[in-house]
Amino acid sequence: MTTIQDVARHAAVSVSTVSNVLNGRTDRMRAETLARVEASIQALQFRPSKLAQQLKTGQTPLLGLLVPSMANPMYGYIAREIESVAQERFGFRLLIGSTYRDREKESAFFEDLLAHGVRRVIVISSLADERHFESAVERGMAVVSYDRGATPGKPSKVGHVMPDNFEAARLATQHLIDKDHRRLAFATVAGMTMSRSAKIDGFFAAAEAAGLRASAQVLDGGALNEYGDSVIAEVGRATALQIAGLPEHPTGIVALNDLMALGLMAGLREAGLGVPEDVSVVGIDGLFLATLSNPMLTTVQLPVREMARAMVERVMQHPGEASEDEREQVFTGVQLIERESVAPPPAASQPRIARRTKPEKAAP
């Protein structure tokens, strides 16, 4: 049976260096040393004893991931990428929980994870208050928060990783403007989070730069908890009913995310409006589901794989020990994926509406 001492001899390093690699403490390690240790681990097919690690440190080789709901495929996509990096790079298994945007549930999960020796957690949360994150950090947990920044004016030891939501929405809006759309809308849900606010700001920035601020509007399809993540597309469908009732509907719409965009397109069709013949739609996420719609959805793809790698590496290095500037990282590599849901606006000023019946609300 291969031991950690065998790996150290093979890589010509100390046992403590191998231990640092196994436990993710590589931020101050030379790249050549790290590569040599990783090559030796692979060559010797070394698998550290998880039980021994737990008995020695009181910690389990588990990475916690808290998401609003696994029913949202975007969170499943992120979880898959996080799990791949955590297991292949650090030998950690993933433990996932759904919090349903409930502070008490999030706090309870932190308590359970701490009690079971889990000391590294990535959390996707839209809650405005993250004091329970800080409390967990003070008790020895490394926490990285996805898709939100630190609360302005409040120093934080929590790491933050997020896509450039402003640029994603700006890019989507600019695409519609480039196709000659002049009546624009951003379709969202009730309630404001940091990421939603950034997207709306990006939408209005593009509209204002083109002199279209007066004809740009935000459409609120309803509270997310009324529908839940499992049927978030219904929020988009409800937004389509708003559009059908407008005397002059927007011809170009940016949706909060891909699921909402897909529901929006379905609702527009039910209202007798063609996509993209009457209304063009752009999503934000880059889900595989966007290729299965008819028409296929044009979307802004977020750099999920790169962000997942950064989140895992950061949580393994314990962000609380990094400088304040190093704890927040914004990924700018958003990319427009052009498909079939965007076309130039129709020449006719009046919308074609076949019917305006309210669709039944899907069961959660």
- What tens digit of pLDDT does each residue of 276-298 get? 999 999 999 999 999 999 999 99
Q: Which two tokens stand for residue 91?
A: 């030998």
In the block, tokens 């490394």 appear at 142
Position 323 in a domain: no
Domain end among 303, 336, 357: 303
Cα 23 → chain centroid: 26
What's the rounded Cα separation, in Å, for the pair 244 and 316?
50
Domain end among 251, 274, 303: 303
Q: What is the mean pLDDT of residues 74-95?
A: 93
Position 334 in a domain: no
Contacts of 278 (CB under 8 A, 6+ apart): 249, 251, 268, 346, 351, 352
Position 280 in a domain: yes
Q: Where do the H-state alpha helices sit in 91-190? A: 103-115, 131-138, 165-178
- What tens digit of pLDDT does each residue of 203-232 get? 999 999 999 999 999 998 776 665 456 578
Nearest in space to 172 (alpha carbons), one of 351, 344, 342: 342
Contacts of 353 (CB under 8 A, 6+ apart): 244, 271, 272, 273
Domain end among 48, 65, 83: 48
295: CATH: 3.40.50.2300
- What tens digit of pLDDT does each residue of 316-354 get? 987 766 666 677 889 999 999 999 999 999 974 444 444
Biggest CA-to-CA distance, the chain: 77
Position 68 in a domain: no
Q: Which two tokens stand for residue 199?
A: 């997207």
Q: Which amino acid is at 23?
A: N
Cα–Cα distance list, 114 to 59, 82, 183 (Å) = 9, 20, 51
- Domain of residue 44 covers 4-48
Q: Show the beta-strand stretches assigned E in 229-354.
A: 252-255, 280-285, 298-301, 328-331, 335-337
User: What pLDDT is attached to residue 120?
Assistant: 94
Q: Please list the residues that pair with 253 across neighbouring strands.
A: 185, 281
What's the rounded Cα separation, in Å, for the pair 159 and 142?
8
Bridge pairing between strands 298-301 and 335-337: antiparallel
How long a stretch of residues is the chain? Answer: 364
Cα 104 → chain centroid: 22
How many alpha carbons fall within 13 Å on the CB side of residue 243? 39
Q: Which two tokens stand for residue 61?
A: 């080789």
170 and 298 co-located in one domain: yes
- What tens digit of pLDDT does each residue of 121-138 get? 999 987 777 888 888 899
23: CATH: 1.10.260.40
Please give the tally of structural domains in the chain.
2
User: What pLDDT is attached to residue 247?
Assistant: 87
In the block, tokens 């999503």 appear at 283
